[in-house]
A and B are shown apart, each in its own frame.
Chain A
Amino acid sequence: MKPPRFSYIAPRSVEHALEVLAASEEDAAVLAGGQSLVPLLNMRFARPEVVVDINGIAALDTIDITSQGVTLGATVRLSRVETDPGLRASMPVLPQAASFVAHPQIRNRTTVGGTLCHADAAAELPALAVALGARLHLRSLARGTRTENAEDFFLGTFSTTKAGDELLVAAEFPRHDGYWVGYDEVARRHGDFPFVGLCLALRMADGIVTAARAAAAGAGPRPVRLAALESELTGQRLTSSVAEAAAEAAAAEVDPPTDNHGTAAFRRGILRTLVRRMTTSQAKQEAA
């Protein structure tokens, strides 16, 4: 189908974008990468009055790396996240997860902000944000800047706390010093949406897990923080029986969907497999 009628504006500053969003009274859609919005427009599932194209706002296209962590501006492309040498050095899980997203032709346009705001529960970046405790910076004309933990930001299927007059301007991923952080997923083919993805961060001392953070993609209506998995692993050595128990704990605490791509039981099975694989792999690394 062809998109419905809308008017379009490409502001050059955040302030101008916020003015337009405020004036549009919930009828605006923000155009960043367009890889999620334009298909919705093309199917007439999205019917905004105004499309606000933020790709020209230079202030949003920044990567800021400090000792505290990494701040990615909203319009940073996932292709850049994948290849940026600074990110590879300071927070390699970000490029690693980005490399799973679709294909280069999509990553050349997909943005950090767009992916987080679209909030597809099967997408990689939202799960990463929840696992790593990312803080999202949102701005509006009326209320200024607010900061929200990723875990609170994602409400449900394609649903976040972002108000109609708000713009997500940046996502801040704190450093987790001393943690090993990894992301893995099982998809039908490389680049397909995962059945389930897992972001796992482990802090180890003398072979014992002293802290764990984990979140799953595709295991529920929003990215799921796997608290039971975390507590099952904490204080343990990564033996195979611990991996099994952790896998069971993770499977038990999620409520995955059943759809054309698979049953809930299947997705639990995938999550179990990911937990086993990632903990086993980390155990081997520790031993080495």
Chain B
Amino acid sequence: METREPREQIEISAVINDHAFNGEVPARMLLSDFIRHEAGLTGTHVGCEQGVCGACTVLLDGEPVRSCLLLAVQADGHIVETVESLAGDERLSAFQQAMKDEHGLQCGFCTPGILMSMAAAERHGYPAQTAEREMLGGHVCRCTGYVGIRAAIRRCWESGPRAERTETR
């Protein structure tokens, strides 16, 4: 919504996990804080506010981005997806289940960001190698040592249609 003059409070209209949010946000509010405390979706976590650790990763119009490096106002007119959107009522997503089976999480703090990056990797049809090297490379985990997460990626990709793809990016 374009205004002629700069303002400190901005009206926004955004969609988060199929829910519409309409309201005013402070210009300086980060998207991560908006998601967590305005939208009440605390599954997205804040680990550094510098864009390095990846815990805050969400999908913006289907692309994985750092919500700590976006202003809430930048979600205006866009679609945000967070970890709460991944599982069905009864079942976890395939990658979530693989993470559980392969012990890909311990304290769980970095996990939602990784889940969102992998959700994007699956949607884009990236091969497992790209998911492991490029997408997981953008995440810090202090607990697991990554071996279980890589095993989850391999398990999930092997059992899905992307197993046949051999292209590398």
- Chains A, B in direct contact (C-beta < 8 Å): yes
- Cβ of A50: which chain B residues have Cβ within 8 Å of it? 6
CA distance A11 to B28 in the complex (A): 17
B49 touching A191 by the CB < 8 A rule?
Answer: no
Q: Mark B46-75, 1 if CB is under 8 A from A, else 0.
A: 000111001001001001111011110110
- Cβ of A52: which chain B residues have Cβ within 8 Å of it? 6
Cβ of A42 within 8 Å of any chain B Cβ, yes or no, is yes
- Cβ of A43: which chain B residues have Cβ within 8 Å of it? 50
B69 touching A39 by the CB < 8 A rule?
Answer: yes
Q: Mark A41-69, 1 if CB is under 8 A from B, else 0.
A: 11100000011110110000000000000
CA distance A132 to B71 in the complex (A): 34
One of B84-92, B134-142, B150-158 contacting the partner: B134-142
Cβ of B10 within 8 Å of any chain A Cβ, yes or no, is yes
B28 touching A5 by the CB < 8 A rule?
Answer: yes
CA distance A248 to B32 in the complex (A): 48
B2 touching A8 by the CB < 8 A rule?
Answer: no
CA distance A16 to B3 in the complex (A): 10
Tell which of A3, A8, A12, A109 has the most Cβ of chain B within 10 Å: A8
Cβ of B30 within 8 Å of any chain A Cβ, yes or no, is yes
B49 touching A1 by the CB < 8 A rule?
Answer: yes
B74 touching A55 by the CB < 8 A rule?
Answer: yes
From residue B105, how far is it (CB to closest CB) to chain A in Å?
19
A7 touching B8 by the CB < 8 A rule?
Answer: yes
B69 touching A7 by the CB < 8 A rule?
Answer: no
> Which 8 A-B pairs give the minimum distances between C-beta atoms?
A103-B138, A8-B27, A7-B6, A9-B6, A3-B28, A38-B69, A42-B49, A108-B63
- Cβ of A79: which chain B residues have Cβ within 8 Å of it? 63
B51 touching A39 by the CB < 8 A rule?
Answer: yes
B2 touching A109 by the CB < 8 A rule?
Answer: no
CA distance A190 to B64 in the complex (A): 18
Among residues of A, the one whose C-beta sits closest to the C-beta of B2 is A12
- Cβ of B57: which chain A residues have Cβ within 8 Å of it? 105
With A3-B28, A55-B74 known to touch, is A104 a contact of B135 (CB < 8 Å)? Answer: yes
Specify which of A3, A10, A51, A190 is in contact with B30 (CB 8 Å cutoff). Answer: A3
From residue B8, how far is it (CB to closest CB) to chain A in Å?
5
- Cβ of A1: which chain B residues have Cβ within 8 Å of it? 49
B8 touching A5 by the CB < 8 A rule?
Answer: yes
- Cβ of B123: which chain A residues have Cβ within 8 Å of it? none
B28 touching A105 by the CB < 8 A rule?
Answer: no
Q: A35-B69, A42-B30, A42-B50 are in contact. List 20 more A-B contacts (CB 8 A).
A: A2-B28, A3-B30, A4-B28, A5-B28, A7-B7, A7-B27, A8-B7, A12-B2, A16-B4, A34-B74, A38-B68, A42-B68, A103-B137, A105-B64, A105-B117, A106-B66, A108-B60, A108-B63, A108-B65, A190-B137
- Cβ of B50: which chain A residues have Cβ within 8 Å of it? 39, 42-43
Q: Mark A22-45, 1 if CB is under 8 A from B, else 0.
A: 000000000100110011011100
Tell which of A6, A35, A108 has the most Cβ of chain B within 10 Å: A108
